[in-house]
């Protein structure tokens, strides 16, 4: 079908109350982010029962993250073509069936395949939730509150995964890390069918097959190469080859979208909108901030202060609670203060928090060395993330809501992947040089400290770029 229709086409029941729509979007975002971290503490049990090799075990995590990030643009355009309800329900179905397969897996191959399928389902769900918010909440205050709640749900999902993974694995079995998604997914499918009207978001069009192939393959190759850098180094052919291939494919994708596609998957005209261009640029930078905060603080707690994995997760709970409160509190401020002040306030929290955290040593203790700075950083994330998502998706036509949501998710994920690879390389090299091959807690603290200083530098760049934003919403 090649025609373009500008009116939405109702195909189902009327929408439910707005609170039910918000709960649905937040629950789906929570589940998507939860599954990126809940498996981590179950990995030793998975390895012992299914007989994974060390390299193969990494793909229980990487398989999910790779398809999640790689297929997000395609999932976003599909939400525009077929409607967010259809894509959300389809994503939930794929995610739930894949979770069932993962929980019942008897071989490493089945479990990795299930995780890849889970990532594909998540890539369908995530941009659809943003399209739902954009099309369901048109009043600025209501949309800001929805973005705040959605952002908080994702942040809490990441933290809950770190705690729940250990608790479920210890109390039940690693299989329930996957099986728990099945009843939750079924319930959310029912809610989605009730809460969302069956509309197409603006356009009914044919799929840009060339753009879908080159864009998805390019992102997947780029992220795969970056993931390999932690084990093989940046000069390895296993890293350089996929990264170069990914960049070339993305170059071809850009050419296809600009010159050859009659109905492009990613209309480049969207980047003429300052919010889309600047917002996604800042999200690309911002992706490194949560990685430095949650991932490397967890390593500091375990490798420097000697905490167990579960203790480290609990030690980050106050920061998660701070993020939740600030994200919900900051959302209503957005229509009144405008974009730039909230981003600058968040950047100030990052600079202060990471600068403080960089001073932590093995004898600093938890309260002074970790708790104080992480509360500051979490407050900054709560101020910044929903604001940047609002910037990157605002003022977009209804028929482009899905692809713009997919783009925002993708840039954040790519920024996080690159940030993790760079930070891990720096931390490892610094610790090794400090201790001569067998890093002590003090040497590890030096490596993590340099990562925190680099994160502060990223925050400074975000603050500078934010000056391109209007001070107020309609400047």
CA distances to 7, 126, 198, 361, 453 from 160, rounded to whole Å, are 40, 18, 32, 27, 27
Radius of gyration of the chain (CA): 21
How much helix, strand and coil, in percent to the nearest 5, is found in the chain?
A: 80, 0, 20
Is the pLDDT at 315 greater than 70, yes or no? yes
Residue among 97, 88, 87 nearest 188 (CA): 88
Mean pLDDT of 388-415: 77
Is the pLDDT at 475 greater than 50, yes or no? no
Mean pLDDT of 282-294: 87
Query: Each residue of 328-385: pLDDT tens digit?
Result: 777 677 777 777 888 899 999 999 999 999 999 888 888 889 999 999 999 999 888 8
What pLDDT score was predicted for residue 91? 93
Angle at 88 between CA 86 and CA 93, to 5 degrees: 95
Q: How far apart are CA 388 and CA 419, in angstroms?
A: 18
Contacts of 139 (CB under 8 A, 6+ apart): none
Mean pLDDT estimate for the chain: 81
What pLDDT score was predicted for residue 201? 45
Mean pLDDT of 406-430: 81
Q: How far apart are CA 408 and CA 276, in angstroms?
A: 8
- Please classify residue 241 by burial: count the beta carbons closer than 10 Å to its beta carbon, then call 0-12 exposed, 13-18 middle and 19+ buried: middle
Query: Each residue of 226-236: pLDDT tens digit?
Result: 877 767 778 88
Query: Each residue of 138-149: pLDDT tens digit?
Result: 776 777 777 777
- Please classify residue 364 by burial: count the beta carbons closer than 10 Å to its beta carbon, then call 0-12 exposed, 13-18 middle and 19+ buried: middle
In the structure, what pLDDT confidence band is assigned to residue 205 with cuts at 50, 70 and 90?
low
Tell me the angle at which helices 108-136 and 140-171 cross, rounded to the nearest 10 degrees. Answer: 160
Cβ(293)–Cβ(381) under 8 Å? yes
Mean pLDDT of 141-170: 74
pTM of the model: 0.76
Residue among 319, 13, 322, 438 nearest 192 (CA): 13
Q: How far apart are CA 115 and CA 177, in angstroms?
A: 12
């Amino acid at each position: 079908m090649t025609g373009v229709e500008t009116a939405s086409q109702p195909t189902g029941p009327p929408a439910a109350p707005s609170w039910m729509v918000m709960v649905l979007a937040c629950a789906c975002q929570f589940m998507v982010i939860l599954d990126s971290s809940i498996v981590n503490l179950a990995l030793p049990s998975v390895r012992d029962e299914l007989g994974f090799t060390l390299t193969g075990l990494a793909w229980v995590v990487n398989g999910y993250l790779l398809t999640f990030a790689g297929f997000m643009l395609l999932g976003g355009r599909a939400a525009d073509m077929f409607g967010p309800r259809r894509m959300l329900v389809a994503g939930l179905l794929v995610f739930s069936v894949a979770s069932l397969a993962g929980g019942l897996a008897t071989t490493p191959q089945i479990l990795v395949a299930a995780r890849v399928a889970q990532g594909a389902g998540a890539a369908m769900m995530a941009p659809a939730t943003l399209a739902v918010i954009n099309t369901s909440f048109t009043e600025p205050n209501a949309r800001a509150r929805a973005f705040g709640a959605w952002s908080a749900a994702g942040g809490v999902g990441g933290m809950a995964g770190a705690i729940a993974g250990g608790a479920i694995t210890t109390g039940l079995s690693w299989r329930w890390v996957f099986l728990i998604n099945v009843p939750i997914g079924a319930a959310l499918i029912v809610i989605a069918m009730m809460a969302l009207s069956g509309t197409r978001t603006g356009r009914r069009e044919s799929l840009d097959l060339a753009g879908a192939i080159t864009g998805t393959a390019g992102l997947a190759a780029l992220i795969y190469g970056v993931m390999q850098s932690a084990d093989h180094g940046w000069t390895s052919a296993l890293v350089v080859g996929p990264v170069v291939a990914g960049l070339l494919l993305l170059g071809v994708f850009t050419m296809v979208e600009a010159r050859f596609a009659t109905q492009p998957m990613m209309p480049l005209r969207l980047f003429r909108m300052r919010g889309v261009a600047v917002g996604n640029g800042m999200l690309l930078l911002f992706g490194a901030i949560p990685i430095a905060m949650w991932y490397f603080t967890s390593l500091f707690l375990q490798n420097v202060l000697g905490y167990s994995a579960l203790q480290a997760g609990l030690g980050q709970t106050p920061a998660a609670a701070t993020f939740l409160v600030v994200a919900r509190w900051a959302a209503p401020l957005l229509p009144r203060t405008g974009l730039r002040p909230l981003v600058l306030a968040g950047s100030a929290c990052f600079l202060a928090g990471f600068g403080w955290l960089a001073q932590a040593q093995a004898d600093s203790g938890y309260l002074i060395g970790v708790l104080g700075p992480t509360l500051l950083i979490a407050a900054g994330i709560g101020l910044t993330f929903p604001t940047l998502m609002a910037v990157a998706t605002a003022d977009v036509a209804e028929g482009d809501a899905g692809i713009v949501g997919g783009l925002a998710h993708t840039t954040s994920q790519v920024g996080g992947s690159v940030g993790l690879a760079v930070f891990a390389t720096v931390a490892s090299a610094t610790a090794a040089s400090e201790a001569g091959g067998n890093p002590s807690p003090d040497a590890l603290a030096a490596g993590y400290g340099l990562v925190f200083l680099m994160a502060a530098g990223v925050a400074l760049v975000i603050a500078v770029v934010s000056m391109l934003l209007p001070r107020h919403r309609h400047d």
